[in-house]
Copies of this chain bind each other. A is one copy, B any other.
Amino acid sequence: LVRRLPRRRDEARPLLRSAILAAAETVFAERGFHGARIQDIATKAGIAAGTVYNHFAHKDDVLVAILEEHSRELLEQLEARPDDPEDFAALLEARVGRLLAYVQRHRAFFAIAYEQGLFAGGAAPGARVSARPLAKVESFRSLFLGLVEQGIKAGALEPLEAEILARFLGGTMRAFVLSSLTDGRGDASAQEHAALTVDLFLHGAARRERATPGGRR
């Protein structure tokens, strides 16, 4: 899809594709997919409407490109890293923290992702652009599943149906993702949110009988 390589002059224009995606991200987020006009995107990107079609065959493809692109990056935040802690709770917190930080950096994307049901297995099918579930969306779900299964195996989580726990984790995170999106607090809170998310996910909201020192952050 990216065929124009940097040429002479100082820099180049393959950036256009990125510029279109960036503009589309904002516009889709503001107006929703159907409400967004190609012309809006083009204008925001500082180009002509026709130019969009030099990079994407259909309006749909612009959306798909955004979703795939960000989903990939999003997935990377959840993947294992060399310096990840051993302890499951700590591990979870690290990953959730990375994910929330990513969310804060790409708020517009998440507005779109929700519309397209990124986190939701069964959300508004009609809002979706494509009938088939987007590939990356599916892998996102598996990643949650994997995390949870790992937790169960490690004995850190209750041996419930993994599918259910995965949804619970998703739901919990969704709640905080929304907080991140809405609150407008600075990035500083990503780690706090992560800590709280993991804590609630693991121990719930019930009052702890005898709060041992340091037990609750």
Taking beta carbons and an 8 Å cutoff, which residues of A are in contact with B? 28-36, 89, 111-112, 114-115, 117, 120-128, 151, 155-160, 164-165, 167-176, 178-179, 181-182, 196, 200-208, 216
Contact = CB atoms under 8 A, between A and B. Distances in A.
A89 B216 CA distance: 21
Contact of A204 (B120, B159, B167, B204): B204
Contacts of A151: 205
A194 to B, nearest CB: 13
A169 B112 CA distance: 23
Given A32-B127, A125-B111, A127-B32, A204 B207 contact: no
A49 to B, nearest CB: 12
A127 to B, nearest CB: 4
Contacts of A206: 89, 156-158, 202-203
Contact of A123 (B171, B178, B201, B208): B178
Most-contacted residue by chain B among A28, A114, A126 (CB, 10 A): A126
A201 B205 contact: yes
Contact of A158 (B32, B34, B117, B205): B205
A114 B120 CA distance: 9
Nearest to A123: B114
A207 B168 contact: no
Nearest to A170: B175
Given A115-B126, A171-B178, 13 more contacts: A29-B125, A29-B126, A32-B127, A111-B123, A114-B120, A115-B127, A122-B178, A127-B127, A156-B206, A157-B205, A157-B206, A164-B196, A165-B205
